């Protein structure tokens, strides 16, 4: 049954990523006053499938100067980690069990840096290596702040279970009486997933395509799916931690729309300012909130 559970979560995640990209392109077209994809079938509904088939049928290039083992392992590890996140969700046979599931998820999330590092290092490209260095430093930095914010949730609800945290919001959402905390969390999630305005992993205007500049075809699909799978998962966790248990899919969808809106509306933050914001502003703020939460318990 664990195998069946993993297959269901995998297929669901892949379909979610496919139609998230379609939604993103439609919304970006709307915000830019242009028509989005509308040629493939009716209203462009099959555009993600057509794009996936096009990429998967492309010729695989062999780079003689690449470190081939790392080159191939990087995207595979990133995709595997993106699939493992969904093991915490309550299926009939969930393969991540126990009340400390959120800690297991953050442990898996901390390993995502290795996928970026292997991908960039294995490419043996200066652009890819710079993108990988930036991403690893960014992920490690913002993970610390994310963990402190999760600790605040543990203090407030006196529970380590995500489901209990969500159920405790049946009356009032945490977002309504901790709006600064919610905004900080969303910012950190965007930085953790290397999403605009914190997309220094790719940074097209500086690093061509960043850590995945040497990838094409099927391996580019793996890197792409892992990135968007991370976005959907963080949106799902955000809805559970701050918006309660009811209508969870709708709330996750709305948070995904916020990701797209931010991409359209905000320019990229300079890398040094991004890191200074983490260590000089967000980390002290997170520590102060943890201290206040512990005082609330006393």
Q: Is 173 left (phi over 0), alpha (psi -120 to 50) or beta?
A: beta
Interval 6-42: pLDDT, tens? 777 788 888 888 889 888 888 888 888 888 778 777 7
Q: Tell me, what's the pLDDT at 97?
A: 54
Biggest CA–CA distance in the chain, Å, is 63
Q: Tell me, what's the pLDDT at 2?
A: 64
Whole-number Å distance between alpha carbons of 221 and 67: 20
State what percent of residues in the chain have pLDDT above 90. Answer: 5
Whole-number Å distance between alpha carbons of 5 and 72: 26
Interval 96-120: pLDDT, tens? 555 677 778 888 888 888 888 888 8
What is the average pLDDT score of the chain?
82
State what percent of residues in the chain have pLDDT above 70. Answer: 92
Q: Tell me which residue has tokens 């005082």.
A: 295
Closest Cα partner for 78 from 207, 235, 188, 194?
194
Between 165 and 260, the more confident residue is 260
Q: Burial-class residue 3 by CB neighbours within 10 Å (0-12, 13-18, 19+).
A: exposed
Q: Is the pLDDT of residue 130 over 80?
A: yes
Q: Tell me, what's the pLDDT at 90?
A: 54
Q: Give, to the nearest 10 degrees, the angle between helix 248-265 and helix 179-192.
A: 70
Whole-number Å distance between alpha carbons of 102 and 181: 18
* HEC profile of the chain: CHHHHHHHHHHHHHHHHHHHHHHHHHHHHHHCCCCCCCCCCHHHCCHHHHHHHHHHCCCCCCCCCCCHHHHHHHHHHHHHHHHHHHHHCCCCCCCCCCCCHHHHHHHHHHCHHHHHHHHHHHHCCHHHHHHHHHHHHHHHHHHHHHHHHHHHHHHHHCCCCHHHHHHCCCCCCHHHHCHHHHHHHHHHHHHHCCCCCCCCCCCHHHHCCHHHCCCCHHHHHHHHHHHHHHHHHHHHHHHHHHCCCCCHHHHHHHHHHHHHHHHHHCCCCCHHHHHHHHHHHHHHHHHHHHHHHHHHHC
Interval 48-62: pLDDT, tens? 888 888 878 877 776
User: How large is the average pLDDT for residues 126-142?
Assistant: 84
Q: Give, to the nearest 10 degrees, the angle between helix 217-242 and helix 68-84.
A: 30
Q: Is the pLDDT of residue 123 over 60?
A: yes
Whole-number Å distance between alpha carbons of 123 and 60: 14
Interval 185-223: pLDDT, tens? 999 898 888 887 888 777 776 777 777 777 777 788 888
Q: Tell me, what's the pLDDT at 1?
A: 58
């Amino acid at each position: 049954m664990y195998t069946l559970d993993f297959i269901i979560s995998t297929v669901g995640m892949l379909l979610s990523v496919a139609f998230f990209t379609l939604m993103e392109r439609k919304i970006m077209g709307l915000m830019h006053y242009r028509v989005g994809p509308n040629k493939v079938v009716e209203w462009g509904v099959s555009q993600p499938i057509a794009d996936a088939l096009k990429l998967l049928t492309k010729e695989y290039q062999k780079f003689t100067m690449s470190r081939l083992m790392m080159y191939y392992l990087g995207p595979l590890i990133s995709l595997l980690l993106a699939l493992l996140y969904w093991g915490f969700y309550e299926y009939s046979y969930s393969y991540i069990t126990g009340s400390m599931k959120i800690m297991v998820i953050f442990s898996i999330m901390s390993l995502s840096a290795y996928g970026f590092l292997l991908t960039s290092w294995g490419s043996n490209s200066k652009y890819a290596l710079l993108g990988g260095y930036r991403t690893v430093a960014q992920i490690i930095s913002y993970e610390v702040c994310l963990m402190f914010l999760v600790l605040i949730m543990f203090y407030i609800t006196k529970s380590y279970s995500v489901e209990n945290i969500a159920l405790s919001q049946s009356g009032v959402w945490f977002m309504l009486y901790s709006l600064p905390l919610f905004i900080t969390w969303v910012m950190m999630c965007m930085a953790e997933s290397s999403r605009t305005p914190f997309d220094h992993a790719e940074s097209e205007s500086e690093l061509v395509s960043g850590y995945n500049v040497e990838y094409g075809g099927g391996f580019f699909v793996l890197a792409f799916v892992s990135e968007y799978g991370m976005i959907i998962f963080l949106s799902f966790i955000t809805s559970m931690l701050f918006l309660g248990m009811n209508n969870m899919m709708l709330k996750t969808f709305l948070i995904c729309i916020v990701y797209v809106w931010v991409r359209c509306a905000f320019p990229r933050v300079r890398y040094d300012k991004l890191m200074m914001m983490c260590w000089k502003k967000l980390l002290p703020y997170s520590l102060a909130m943890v201290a206040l939460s512990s005082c609330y318990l006393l």
